[in-house]
Amino acid sequence: MSAAARLRASAALLALVLLAAVLAPWLAPRAPSALDLDRRLATPSPQHPLGQDELGRDILSRLLFGARASLATGLAVVLLAGALGTIVGGVAGIAGGRTDALLMRLVDVVLAFPGLLLAIALVAMLGPALSHVVLALVLIGWVGYARLVRGQAARLRESEFVLAARASGAGWVRVFLAHVLPNLAPLLLVQASLSMAGAMLAEASLSFLGLGLQPPTPSWGAMVNAGRGHLLDAPHLALLPGLALCVVVACLNVAADALGERLQGRRALPAALD
């Protein structure tokens, strides 16, 4: 498949998942936390197309609502980390000198830790909650954007169109917003797609460890964890939410890869959370 076709296919699938997550309250056959203890681990039926979990809750409904938690976390992390990283990277790249050195040392400190470990440690200390997961992932995620923006901003700083804008009296903030940032937008989009994939995987891992969303609110990671106890009698409990996560994350990776290929004529390396 060509890069354009891969981009279209993955974007379409992502849009579909996003739509399903937004419309979850209307699409879900049951409330995601409604118990039905007489029908624990029931196999699929017309009322429950994907069956029922260990407490008789409707699995399709939980998957749909779990998508909301997963996508909302991913989007929140991408927006906040992207904004923070872009500001830090922009300041470092344009100011240069001592400011640049200081900010980049800060980046080095964060990079001295494996990302997932720092996230687990922070949430373990702050206490399990989705807001703490987002905070931890933003504190780790901004460095990727900061390095990207800093490098490009430092390069564009010396370019002729930036010098021309400066000469015509534009301040650095205006130059950055009006001239540097639009040039960076495609690269930032690739980074956002990769980091959203990483953030969704990390959120699910933390929820799996019991550090994310607390029950009974459904989340894909926690659903896999609960389903692990029923691998023999009802394997779909653990398999379905994980499969959903795989598909969304793979779409984000494929989209980033295809976009990167179109931009640079070569494929971007999908980065794990690092």
Say whether residue 114 binds another protein (CB under 8 A).
Answer: yes
Say whether residue 50 binds another protein (CB under 8 A).
Answer: no
Residue 266 backbone zone (phi > 0: left; psi -120 to 50: alpha; other: beta)? beta
Encoded amino acid at 222, one letter: A
Q: Binder to another protein among 249, 255, 258, 259 (CB under 8 A)?
A: 249
Say whether residue 235 binds another protein (CB under 8 A).
Answer: yes
Residue 63 CB, shortest distance to another protein, in Å, is 14
Judged by CB under 8 A, the chain residues 183 through 222 that form the site for another protein are 197, 201, 204-205, 208-211, 221
Compute CA 254 distance to the chain's CA centroid, rounded to the nearest angstrom.
14
Say whether residue 102 binds another protein (CB under 8 A).
Answer: no
The stretch among 37-45, 72-80, 169-177, 226-234 that binds another protein (CB under 8 A) is 226-234
Among residues 114, 265, 256, the alpha carbon closest in space to that of 193 is found at 256
Say whether residue 265 binds another protein (CB under 8 A).
Answer: no
Q: Binder to another protein among 16, 25, 264, 274 (CB under 8 A)?
A: 274
Residue 169 CB, shortest distance to another protein, in Å, is 40
How many Cβ atoms are within 10 Å of 84's Cβ, its own excluded? 17
Q: Binder to another protein among 84, 120, 154, 181 (CB under 8 A)?
A: 120
Say whether residue 227 binds another protein (CB under 8 A).
Answer: yes
The stretch among 46-54, 66-74, 82-90, 223-231 that binds another protein (CB under 8 A) is 223-231
Q: Binder to another protein among 23, 79, 101, 121 (CB under 8 A)?
A: 121
Which three-class secondary structure state does DSSP give residue 182? Answer: helix
- DSSP secondary structure letters along 191-220: HHHHHHHHHHHHHHHHHHTT-SSPTTS--H
Count of positions on this chain that bind another protein (CB under 8 A): 49
The stretch among 32-40, 93-101, 109-117, 183-191 that binds another protein (CB under 8 A) is 109-117
Contact 53, 62 (CB under 8 A): yes
Nearer to another protein, 93 or 115 (CB): 115
Distance between CA atoms of residues 36 and 57, nearest Å: 6
- DSSP secondary structure letters along 37-83: GGGTTPPP-SSSTT-B-TTS-BHHHHHHHHHHHHHHHHHHHHHHHHH
Angle formed by the axes of helices 236-264 and 181-208, nearest 10°: 160
Q: In this structure, what token pair is assigned to residue 244?
A: 């959903």
Which stretches of the chain bind another protein, using CB under 8 A?
Answer: 108-109, 112-118, 120-122, 124-127, 197, 201, 204-205, 208-211, 221, 224-225, 227-228, 231-232, 235, 238-239, 241-243, 245-246, 249-250, 253-254, 269-274
